[in-house]
């Protein structure tokens, strides 16, 4: 590990499209490696800025992205939704921008993503795009009376995502998403949701992180348990699935691969994100090299570090907004003296119900111990 300060001749600059919490944690990983970091974000005082990045305050338009690209040795993004991949291809050679614009294009639209990966032999549940209300009604029958209606683009943290199991809920979903392209996914009866982070270097070599279990609440990632409590053979299969998915795309950087462990013990891909991911936050304290540091290393051509866990168990819990308004953090000194509890508060100035305001990672010699520690800490925090 190198902690190089900025005026060394080896130093390079990283540009990040987006200055939210992912940009923030990327910044915190990149600065000690000696990089200058600049983020582009429309909101002044973004979380990444608060962590020490310079910021271009601006919309994600051609002028701003071009400006960021021009001053960056390496360009990356903390999100993909809404990005103009033609523009990205135009302003940047793919060796400079990672994830590759082509990869972003393939992942952005979930139907294109699924078609692409299905053709590569990746196992997944049934899904169909449809045009008419009538077709949707037929699909609900075909899929056994329970399915998800999802927007093809822009879904995250429960947005763009409805579970429907009768005519009324189907009508509601279609009306909510009127005007947006949607598709249907058969509901996969699963025992657990698993996730694996993979990081691919500029030469295409891929490393994976431990398999974790993710627990969702209201369609938002609530808790991540590391490592997942599944047998060795399932871990192997989950890792293989992640390698297959990450290997299907061009370009360097992190990939978050979410999957279902079905009641029949099959592993189905759920979704893939071409970036650092909420399911990998635990790696900051629990792994030799965090997903954020390895993403930075990967896109800048530096050697990728070990992803092995350096503690027996870790549990990550998101700190979600519980009201709407200016964020005001209550005292957290109770938590502070615990050496195995790590609280991250992203510094967002406005809170909103369900908004990701921070997260807690707790480590321990058993999963229960780590979980109890994280949950106890969460009780001390209100934001």
Given the rule CB under 8 A, which residues bind a copy of itself? 1-10, 24, 28, 31-32, 34, 45, 47, 50-52, 288-289, 302-303, 305-306, 327-329, 331-333, 335-337, 339, 341-347, 349
Residue closer to a copy of itself by CB (options 45, 312) is 45
What is the enclosing helix (H) or strand (E) of 57? Answer: strand 54-57
CB of 279 to a copy of itself, least distance (A): 19
Give least dist CB 83 to a copy of itself, A: 25
Q: In the bound complex, what is the minimum distance in angstroms from residue 3's beta carbon to a copy of itself?
A: 4
Shortest distance (Å) from residue 160 CB to a copy of itself:
28
Q: Phi and psi at residue 257, in whole multiples of 5°? A: -120, 115
In the chain, how long is the greatest CA-to-CA distance?
64
Whether residue 18 has a cis bond before it, omega within 30° of 0:
no
**Distance from the Cα of residue 212 to its chain's centroid:** 13
Q: How far apart are CA 69 and CA 49, in angstroms?
A: 18
**Closest C-alpha to 163, from 269, 172, 258, 261:** 172
Vertex 103, ends 88 and 283: CA angle to 5°? 105
What SS3 state is found at 304? coil
Min dist CB 243 to a copy of itself, Å, is 21
| Residue for token pair 């008419």 | 132
Which residue's CB is nearer to a copy of itself, number 43 or number 219? 43
Cβ-based nearer residue to a copy of itself, 10 or 168: 10
- Residue closer to a copy of itself, measured from CB, 1 or 178: 1
Distance CA 114, CA 127 (A): 8
Q: Which residue's CB is nearer to a copy of itself, number 274 or number 347?
A: 347
Shortest separation between residue 250's beta carbon and a copy of itself, angstroms: 24
Please give the Cα distance from 228 to 251 (Å, whole number): 28
**Dist. CA 104–CA 153, nearest whole Å:** 12
Is the preceding peptide bond at 369 cis, omega within 30 degrees of 0? Answer: no
The distance of closest approach from Cβ of residue 7 to a copy of itself in the complex, given in angstroms and rounded to an integer, is 5
Helix (H) or strand (E) holding 240: helix 232-247
Give CA–CA dist 283/292, Å, rounded: 8
Looking at beta carbons only, is 243 or 288 nearer to a copy of itself? Answer: 288
Minimum separation from the CB atom of position 303 to a copy of itself (A): 4
Nearer Cβ to a copy of itself, position 13 or 92?
A: 13
Task: Rank residues 117 and 377 by Cβ distance to a copy of itself and give the closer one.
Answer: 377
Show the CA angle centred on residue 96, arms to residues 92 and 97, nearest 5°: 70
């Amino acid at each position: 590990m190198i902690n190089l300060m900025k005026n060394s001749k080896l130093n390079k600059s990283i540009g990040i499209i987006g200055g939210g919490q992912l940009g923030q944690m990327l910044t915190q990983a990149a600065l000690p490696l000696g990089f200058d970091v600049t983020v582009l974000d429309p909101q002044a005082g973004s979380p990444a800025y608060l962590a020490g990045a310079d910021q271009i305050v601006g919309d994600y338009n051609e002028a701003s992205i071009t400006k960021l690209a021009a001053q960056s040795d390496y360009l990356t993004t903390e999100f993909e939704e809404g990005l103009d991949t033609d523009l990205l291809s135009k302003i940047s050679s793919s060796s400079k921008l990672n994830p590759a614009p082509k990869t972003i294009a393939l992942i952005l639209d979930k139907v294109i993503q699924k078609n692409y990966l299905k053709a590569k032999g990746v196992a997944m549940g049934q899904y169909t795009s449809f045009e008419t209300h009538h077709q949707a009604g037929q699909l609900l029958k075909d899929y056994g009376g329970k399915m998800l209606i999802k927007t093809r683009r822009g879904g995250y943290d429960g947005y763009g995502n409805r579970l429907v199991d009768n005519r009324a809920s189907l009508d509601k979903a279609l009306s909510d998403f009127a005007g947006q392209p949607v598709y249907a996914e058969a509901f996969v009866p699963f025992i657990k949701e698993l996730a694996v982070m993979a990081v691919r270097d500029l030469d295409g070599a891929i490393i994976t992180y431990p398999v974790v279990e993710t627990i969702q609440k209201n369609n938002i990632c609530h808790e991540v348990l590391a490592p997942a409590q599944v047998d060795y053979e399932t871990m192997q299969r989950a890792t293989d699935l992640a390698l297959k998915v990450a290997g299907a795309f061009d370009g360097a950087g992190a990939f978050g691969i979410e999957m279902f462990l079905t009641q029949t013990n099959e592993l189905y891909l759920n979704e893939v994100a071409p970036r650092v991911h909420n399911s990998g936050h635990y790696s900051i304290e629990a792994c030799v090299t965090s997903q954020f540091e390895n993403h930075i290393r990967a896109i800048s051509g530096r050697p990728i570090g070990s992803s092995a866990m350096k503690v027996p168990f870790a549990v990550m819990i998101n700190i979600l907004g519980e009201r709407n308004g200016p964020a005001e953090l209550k005292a957290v000194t109770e938590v502070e003296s615990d050496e195995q509890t790590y609280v991250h508060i992203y510094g967002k100035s406005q809170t909103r119900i369900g908004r990701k305001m921070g997260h807690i990672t707790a480590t321990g010699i058993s999963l229960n111990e780590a979980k109890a520690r994280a949950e106890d800490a969460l009780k001390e925090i209100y934001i």
